[in-house]
A = this chain, B = another copy of it.
């Protein structure tokens, strides 16, 4: 019995290694550089081993996305719980969101940009993704304002943040005024 357990442990450990290595490689050189061959070489196994853990490259991206979403949710909660009033919380939320996207661009892409084969806004949406949205909802429902559904408000605010994050990183927006754009967004959208 304990032999089987050991093997399972080793297998789980290797799976973590795959995900961590994929993430590392993606952050270092972009997702284009994350090929099954390079990934296999880095974990010091042959290519087919990857396919005994994941159905394909998509699923590996999906695994990185889930891990990242959990981290993001934690970061958002940590930032908002340190603030006293709703207004400060929203600002902290927005800043933390954009900072996460900037510091973990590959992970952010895995979550929101790439196809990781994950379901969104459905019943079978994985827990970490639902939880990340919940973290946004918790703070934003305080400043939704009258006559607006908090979920709808959260979606809209989130979309604005997502737009800022992606356009900035893609070089579509001048990076200097990021902070002032956040202030504008919070000033106008949040009803405090």
Evaluate contact between B185 and A156: CB separation under 8 angstroms.
yes
Q: How far is the CA of A148 from the CA of B186 in the complex (A)?
A: 13
Q: How far is the CA of A121 from the CA of B171 in the complex (A)?
A: 7
Residues of B within 8 A of A171 (CB): 119-121
A161 to chain B, nearest CB (A): 7
Residue A82 interfacial (CB < 8 Å): no
A119 to chain B: closest residue by CB: B171
Within the complex, which residue of B121, B158, B173 is in contact with A163, where a contact is CB–CB below 8 Å?
B158
Q: How far is the CA of A185 from the CA of B167 in the complex (A)?
A: 18
B-contacting residues, A72-104, CB 8 Å: none
Evaluate contact between B172 and A121: CB separation under 8 angstroms.
yes
Evaluate contact between A112 and B167: CB separation under 8 angstroms.
yes
Q: How far is the CA of A155 from the CA of B47 in the complex (A)?
A: 44
A107 to chain B, nearest CB (A): 16
Q: Which A residues contact B (CB, under 8 angstroms)? A: 112-113, 119-121, 148, 152-153, 155-156, 158-164, 166-167, 170-174, 177, 180-181, 184-185, 188-189
